[in-house]
Structure 1
């Protein structure tokens, strides 16, 4: 197995037919930044925090149109009901491990209370998603502190997004292999709007059989041995979609729904124990966009989610953690060979 990690496009694997943005990342959407804090401590802690920070909600009184789709509600998404009820995002979106979600939410509230102009603030709706990283990290220790959250928020960058075993993806696993953080984007033409950039970030931690552009990649065949450790049975996926078209919250709900559908392209089994959530947010000024014009955006979301999930696995590295549990990185040479034999990649790639 090769240890050389790469994004899907670096291998010639290009899900769909639409054009990515210049970074092929959620930060291609102007005004969106991403930061991570990773905790790798001793033999038992493999966890962290990822912050998705739209500039408009990183200041006093900031709000953006947003919505949520719950594919399966087996999770602890803090702030979900108000997000749906009001159709608005008031805070950055933070991702972490399951039992740390509440400490992260408290730290996010502290961060917002301290922002200039919020001196009289008495209510705010922190949005914090999670997946269960308890196989690789001692989840009961809940090691996330306010400082970890602040580091993720203040380090958020609009130029690059680290992927794989970073931030909230440090201890996650997906589709039989080591998972993590992945991102992708698409640029599409929308009637009466023009060019629209759709960016996606995923925290992959769900079960099923890895599928690459329609080609199944079973775990044991890829690894070359039988891995006796149990595969994921759920454990969840968080998806964040940002776009620069002025959609309303109802339309963003339709976009979020397609994001969860996109997991199916990568082989998700949508298990009953998987909390599968997608949040969609618009950073653009409100505009009149007809429902008939949304189809290119739907296609962009499906493709970007598929590629983001693949990037989360292809950039992740084999990780040994809690109680010696191991999740192996998907062998990329095997993936390339299987895709070549299936005709997904041309000979010689």
Structure 2
């Protein structure tokens, strides 16, 4: 079964279960609260068949929406632990901007999704594809539930996720690239949240979308409560010897997996300030308990949708191009954006856990969601 979607199904989020969070969320409490940002998914659930069992997909983010492809956004990246992949980072670090779609998928599908994004841009914006294309594609590993070497994700699935991208409330949990992911040895996946803050004479939104596939069960905390070690839910991904049976020499390492986090804001920022926001992501993750495993690829990207028309880089213009200018929040006024990033990351992880549902995948492997009754009881 292949589905493309953006709207939520059976929405239930951490706040619905009584978990308290700091800060003021936007209307959808999602990355799409940042004006212009759109999100779409392709979710692949099928098999087993000749290619094995599919529990995977693609998540697509359009920073300036469908009509804004090719218009640069100030951007910066940060890697807490580099056991992962986020394509396009070298150009972002060099030029301080991104102008193409962002996609997230599984570890072995990066090439197919990269090709699909290129194809979609060429189809929808040939004036952009006439130059060079360096889209951003991130990944986390879903090989516990998904037959990761089955080639399930193809370029057309990336194109479909981009076609489905829209604003407003978004689906979370077992959707898109998050379909087969696990977090703190519970079922994980896609999560999002936002914060609205006032600073430097304006009101701005910070939105986060993440693909949560990290953490040891004993680490998990929600609003300071050690729900991981208190949970009665089974954790076969940590307790079973499936990694040995798969032909490896040792058990899977607790906490292995990865997390990709995308931070968006309409606050006008310099590229270095975007990088500074990306560096605050680990503080939000740490609030949920993780220490950052060596076997987890924890890579983050932040971008600003302000200053359209700046940070351009076009072939053929050379020295004839005039000066460009950026408005930006003064460094001394940036702390509210830091706090918003930390708060939104923390809540996005909780939303991914709460939205996720039990899922059985390849070879009878099963992942169990964080029990809602345990959360309600903890915060009653």
The answer to whether TM tops 0.5 is yes
Gaps (5+ residues) in structure 2?
A: 1-9, 241-251, 308-325
Q: How far apart are 1:54 and its partner, in Å?
A: 1.7
Which residue of structure 2 aligns with residue 289 of structure 1?
329
- Is the CA contact (8 Å cut-off) linking 1:60 and 1:118 kept in structure 2? no
Which residue of structure 1 aligns with residue 243 of structure 2?
none
Which residue of structure 2 aligns with residue 141 of structure 1?
150
- Matching of residue 337 in structure 1 with residue 342 in structure 2: no
Please point out which of 195, 202, 208 is paired with 2:210: 202
Q: How far apart are 1:60 and its partner, in Å?
A: 5.6
Q: What is the SS of the residue equivalent to 2:255?
A: coil
Q: How far apart are 1:64 and its partner, in Å?
A: 1.0
Q: How far apart are 1:61 and its partner, in Å?
A: 3.4
d(CA) in 1 for partners of 2:168 and 2:139? 24
Please point out which of 78, 81, 91 is paired with 1:69: 78
Normalising to structure 1: TM-score of the pair? 0.91
d(CA) in 2 for partners of 1:187 and 1:61? 27
- Matching of residue 258 in structure 1 with residue 280 in structure 2: yes
- Is the CA contact (8 Å cut-off) linking 2:43 and 2:179 kept in structure 1? yes
Q: How far apart are 1:224 and its partner, in Å?
A: 5.0
* C-alpha spacing 1:61/1:334, structure 2 compared with 1 (3 Å): closer
Q: How far apart are 1:288 and its partner, in Å?
A: 2.9
d(CA) in 2 for partners of 1:313 and 1:169? 11
Aligned positions of 1:2-151 closer than 5 A: 6-16=12-22, 18-43=23-48, 44-55=53-64, 59=68, 61-118=70-127, 121-151=130-160
Aligned positions of 1:130-279 closer than 5 A: 130-192=139-201, 194-208=202-216, 209-218=219-228, 221-223=230-232, 227=236, 228-229=239-240, 232-279=254-301
- Is the CA contact (8 Å cut-off) linking 1:57 and 1:92 kept in structure 2? no
- Is the CA contact (8 Å cut-off) linking 2:233 and 2:370 kept in structure 1? no
d(CA) in 2 for partners of 1:156 and 1:288? 28
Q: How far apart are 1:102 and its partner, in Å?
A: 1.1
What is the aligned length?
A: 334
Q: What is the SS of the residue equivalent to 2:109?
A: helix
- Is the CA contact (8 Å cut-off) linking 2:29 and 2:194 kept in structure 1? yes
What is the root-mean-square deviation in Å for CA atoms of aligned residues?
A: 1.8
Q: Tell me which stretches of 4 or more aligned residues in structure 1 moved more than 6 Å.
A: none
Q: What is the SS of the residue equivalent to 2:127?
A: coil
* C-alpha spacing 1:224/1:260, structure 2 compared with 1 (3 Å): closer
* C-alpha spacing 1:226/1:41, structure 2 compared with 1 (3 Å): closer
